[in-house]
Amino acid sequence: MRVTGAVFVGTLGMLLCGTIVVSKLLGATYARDVATLCNAESASGFSVWKNAARVTTWAQERLQTGEGGRLLASLRDLPLDERAQRLERESRAVGLSTCPMIRVYDELYGRWRAKQELQHLCSATTFPDLDKLDVPERLQLLEEWLMLNASTAEARWLGSRLSHAETAAAAAELLRDAANDSDILTCDVAKVLEGPDAQSCGP
């Protein structure tokens, strides 16, 4: 009976140890999933800005746990400005010292914000009466809008360049160049800037 008891105790100990080991392995597997997401852009060789779907597919094919899959799904569903914070929380929770994708999400949101601001700046609906102003007044209105609304480095830099533009044509070219860089197809405000002066449009 003593031998049987010893065997039972030993078996119980092995089961407990096995449970701890399995738990650790499961945790480590989720940690690997988080690490996969953290390094998805650099490891996949694709750019999130240009090939987000390919980066997502690459990561999805390498995730090993349901938790990892749910994390990826939540990152896709979250607004851009919340993704970096969510991934940072998870990477810290599993003990990762670095997570490059956090910076990628921050940059992605910054570029999206810059594009949004430029789209507003280029839209005729933002300045419905711009064509009724003289050229100097048009440029001044654009500068004032940027001073009040520009929140990104790109928009502030453009505002600085526009403030030094000597002609409406030069300002229009700056707007078009910025729009092209952000993959914005048209810039109606640039067309208005190059239009005739309001004083020359009389009856």
The span from the first CA to the last CA of the chain, in angstroms, equals: 115
CB atoms within 10 A of CB 105: 24
Residues of the chain with pLDDT under 70: 1-28, 197-203
Question: What is this structure's pTM?
Answer: 0.69
Q: Which two tokens stand for residue 134?
A: 């003289």
* pLDDT digit string, tens, across residues 108-136: 999 899 999 999 999 999 999 898 988 88
Alpha carbon 138 to chain centroid, angstroms: 32
How far is residue 151's CA from residue 27's CA, in Å, rounded to a whole number? 40
How far is residue 126's CA from residue 189's CA, in Å, rounded to a whole number? 9
How far is residue 52's CA from residue 59's CA, in Å, rounded to a whole number? 11
pLDDT at 65: 95
pLDDT at 163: 85
How far is residue 160's CA from residue 180's CA, in Å, rounded to a whole number? 18
How far is residue 10's CA from residue 2's CA, in Å, rounded to a whole number? 12
Instruction: Assign 5 to helix, strand or coil.
Output: helix
pLDDT at 28: 55
pLDDT at 201: 47
Q: What is the CA radius of gyration of the chain?
A: 28
